[in-house]
Chain A
């Protein structure tokens, strides 16, 4: 019983913390650019505001437009149930492994792309076409990179991979792990629309990807989509943190282990947030036709990772 309670707590924890994580990244970025910046809890206020506003829907939009926000947030929420956040192994590990996670990601992207096309605006179509291009190149890399870790652990189960890494701390330094980390980091940036691929802080720019698709949304629909994209960032970062630096994650359900897991996860996420903020301050957005090259590079890294973990076993 307490196992399911902890499971429920992890989801609430992820949902509650995701806007804060994005706020933190924005705040660090503002500080690095010597701006004062909005406080880290600004995204909560944005959510509150959006949930109170009226949702305006174009009269050309079909049911897809109204359904997509729920589909996108449901698929992201489902991923949050499968990814190790605070405790391994998770109760729902038997329901899905890394392949389910990859396809759930793709499901969310699919609905978002449809929703971008649905109202028939020019921006939405452009955004959808770009998003699908990026997703088609990023998805195989995600699977390959995590699969190279799975080879070392002997299981495609995300929880089992983390447990295997906890039992043998030296595997973290193997080239397979490092290459997979680099590949997954690039993919995480591409999937969550961070800077070298997509600029998260612009609202109207010709080369935007994520913003272009949700341009027509307002009110609670927009709030759901934004929350889902923040949750996606949270899930990707905790996946990176827990797969590659698993120390501190709880393996038992004692209150001590759980609180220690919360503290270490917060520290790991804060470090990753600093890394992302520093990187977003240093690099400029890539030209769109350079994005496939970046993703090919990450695919090659994942390929090398899987080769070395397969052949050096």
Chain B
């Protein structure tokens, strides 16, 4: 039974990581949004699996919140942003696609290396997924650092948040509900502020390329 639990946890974590890697391979905002929505669905699934095996009803609530907020509400807002802004594709990132895929592979290897003592100490059946969650965090940070369009960076940030939530669920079986709700609110507000910024950048420069922000210095 326990082995089924750990298998499902690791399976879910690798799926979230693959959805994170899709950000590096695709170029259109539409594909990014789809990847983010599916990643959030998988994340909610992992939370529900943990809730089932640990008999923790609070986590079911968290899973439902995740589904509503990250798999439905935020993707809907992102879809709405696609119309005025989505025509701009990520054509020339700072690092090209093939190299960034290889770099993210190395980042996941690095995450495995960093996690080794953590995994060795832990006795949780979900411990095998922790390096993958950390890998997702690294890959999202890399996306934020290597992509030029503001919208891509926002989705990278959202995936970073997903990675942190995944690590919390796998490592501690979820943080208290009050904190969780606070995180959700933070995320929602943060996303709205970022949305506002993206629109302002678009208005000022007729583009969401963050390289343009360099012109603000004058």
Contacts and interface: CB of A to CB of B under 8 A. Distances in A.
B128 interface: yes
A308 interface: yes
Given A300-B105, A303-B105, A312-B128, A174 B98 contact: no
B97 A175 contact: no
B179 to A, nearest CB: 29
A89 B3 CA distance: 29
A46 interface: no
A264 B197 CA distance: 57
B17 interface: yes
Interface stretch (A51-59, A227-235, A239-247, A289-297): A289-297
B11 A173 contact: yes
A179 B7 contact: no
B97 to A, nearest CB: 4
A175 B101 contact: no
A304 B105 contact: yes
- Say which size band chain A's interface belongs to: 20 to 34
Contacts of B116: 311
Contact of A175 (B4, B109, B132): B132
Nearest to B113: A311
Nearest to A295: B98
B25 A293 contact: yes
Contact of B108 (A294, A297, A307): A307
Given A175-B10, A296-B102, A311-B131, A304 B17 contact: yes
A182, A303, A312: residue with the most chain B Cβ atoms closer than 10 Å? A312
A304 B111 CA distance: 11
A178 interface: yes
B1 to A, nearest CB: 12
Contact of B109 (A173, A292, A297, A307): A307
A170 interface: yes
B112 interface: yes
B47 interface: no
Contact of A173 (B7, B102, B108, B132): B7
Given A179-B14, A293-B101, A297-B25, A174 B7 contact: yes
A63 B175 CA distance: 72
A312 B9 CA distance: 13
Contacts of A173: 7, 11
Chain B interface mostly? helix
Contacts of A178: 11, 14
A297 B21 contact: yes
A142 B57 CA distance: 44
Contacts of B128: 312
Nearest to A305: B14
Given A292-B98, A296-B98, A304-B17, A174 B10 contact: yes
Contacts of B10: 174-175, 308, 312
B153 interface: no
Contacts of B132: 175, 308
Contact of A293 (B4, B14, B98, B104): B98
Interface of B: 3-4, 7, 10-11, 13-14, 17-18, 21, 25, 97-98, 101-102, 104-105, 108-109, 112, 116, 128, 131-132
Interface of A: 170, 173-175, 178-179, 182, 292-294, 296-297, 299-301, 303-304, 307-308, 311-312
Given A170-B7, A178-B11, A296-B102, 8 more contacts: A173-B7, A175-B11, A178-B14, A296-B97, A300-B21, A300-B101, A300-B104, A308-B10
11 contacts: A173-B11, A174-B10, A175-B10, A175-B14, A175-B132, A179-B18, A296-B102, A300-B102, A300-B104, A311-B116, A312-B10
